[in-house]
Amino acid sequence: MANERQARLADRIKVLIAERLEKGLRDPRLGFVTITDVRVTGDLQHASVFYTVLGSEQERNDTAEALRAATGMLRSEVGRRLGVRLTPTLEFIADGIPENAGHIEDLLREARERDEQVAGLAASASYAGDADPYVKAVEADED
C-alpha cells in the first residue's frame, strides 16, 4: 500500500511541477526543462525530482541554479495543491539520460563499424588448410 501511495504522490508531484514550470518562473536563467521522473521516499518526506534541459552546458548550469532558487516556491505550491499533511522536501537532480544515451549510441556505432570490418575480412578470407579438413569414411575406405 505504501508503494502505491508513493507512486501516486510522485506522479502528482511530477504533474504539479511540470505545470508550474510550463507557466514559467520569473527567472531568465530557466531553460527548456522536462521533468523526467520523481521518486518519493518511503516516509513520503522527500521527493527527488529528475529533469533534463535542452541546450548547452551553460544553459544546463543556469537552469540548475534557477531551480535551486525556486525550490521553496515550488515546494509551497506543491504543498498547497497536493492536499497532504506534510509536504515533502524537493531536490532537483539533473537526469543523465541524454548523456548516457549519447554514449550508448557511440558504442553501438563503434560496434557496427567493427562488425563491418570483420565481415569484410571474412568475405575475402580463405581456409588455412583444406576446405574440408575432416577425413570422410568413403575416402578412408578408398585408401
Ranges of the chain whose pLDDT falls below 50: 1
Residue 30: exposure state from Cβ atoms within 10 A (0-12, 13-18, ≥19): buried
Distance of alpha carbon 138 from alpha carbon 50, whole angstroms = 71
Q: What is the pLDDT of residues 78-103, one digit of tens each?
A: 889 888 888 899 999 988 777 777 78
- The CA-to-CA distance between both ends of the chain, in Å, stands at 80
Contact predicate 71/87, CB 8 Å: no
Distance of alpha carbon 84 from alpha carbon 143, whole angstroms = 92
pLDDT at 120: 86
All structural domains of the chain = 2-95 (3.30.300.20)
Decide: pTM greater than 0.75.
no
Largest CA distance in the chain: 95
Contact predicate 91/41, CB 8 Å: no
Amino acid at the residue 46: H
Distance of alpha carbon 108 from alpha carbon 116, whole angstroms = 12
pLDDT at 140: 52
